[in-house]
Amino acid sequence: MPNWASGAVSVTGRKDSALNFARRFIYEDAQRDLAKPYYFARSFAQDSWGETIEIINNLFDGVPAGTESKLNMDIEFAWSASSCLLFDNSNKIPGSITLSDACIEDNVSVEIKTEESDLGFIENITCGKDGSVTFQTQDMPVYVCPVCGSEYFIKSYMDISEFECMLCEKTGLISKEAD
Ligand SMILES: [Zn+2]
């Protein structure tokens, strides 16, 4: 089993562009036609394809044709978003495409933030419509069990006050920098 980098992906583009881009992720409820479109390696959408179409339809409901909107997606990347999206994986994973090539083809700009809580890193990736990529990575903040001192990386959507220590089973963590 891989470690997972949980990604918040924002896609800015017209409706047809957003649909084309969204199709490149892997969905549990959709069979992939490897020939078309080229897809993102090891990048799993948390919403189903059916839900994603509904989200896009709602997002562009009443919006004049040709107007851009911002689509937000939750994507789980195996190992890291950078390894899935920025490297050319097409030798190992036929039919895969890089983020840069996809942004050019689909005419979208993209912002991605991920958190990987096993190794404890955060990725910030942007890609413009011209395919130009920026990539930064940083350490996740460390949280500590106040009872036994065990240390954890906690994804930002999780509540540290509800987190149960895996060693002593006490609930609630504190920031390591706080003491
Ligand atoms: Zn503990």
pLDDT in tens, 78-87: 999 999 999 9
Mean pLDDT of the chain: 93
State the distance from the centre of ligand 1 to the C-alpha of 149, rounded, in angstroms. Answer: 6
Q: How confident is the model at residue 178 (pLDDT cuts 50, 70, 90)?
A: low
Query: How many angstroms separate the alpha carbon of residue 51 from the centre of ligand 1?
Result: 39
**Cα–Cα distance, 70 to 60 (Å, whole number):** 10
In this prediction, residue 123 carries a pLDDT of: 98
* Residue 120 CA, ligand 1 centroid: distance in Å: 19
Cα 168 to averaged position of ligand 1 atoms, centre (Å): 4
pLDDT tens, position by position, 49-107: 999 999 999 999 999 989 999 999 999 999 999 999 999 999 999 889 999 999 999 99
Give the pLDDT of residue 169: 95
Query: According to the model, what pLDDT value does residue 167 have?
Result: 96
Tell how far the Cα of 177 is from the centroid of ligand 1, in angstroms.
17
- Indicate if the pLDDT at residue 179 is higher than 70: no
Ligand 1: centre distance to CA 138 (Å): 26
Q: According to the model, what pLDDT value does residue 34 have?
A: 56
Q: How far apart are the CA of 164 and the centre of ligand 1, in A? A: 8
136 CA distance to ligand 1 middle (Å): 32
- Looking at residue 110, its pLDDT comes to 98
Domain ranges of the chain: 4-139, 142-178
Predicted local confidence at residue 57, as pLDDT:
97
Note residues around ion ligand 1 (Cβ under 5 angstroms): 145, 147-148, 150, 165, 167-168, 170
The label of the residue with tokens 């390894």 reads 83
Q: What is the pLDDT of residues 166-175, one digit of tens each?
A: 999 999 999 9
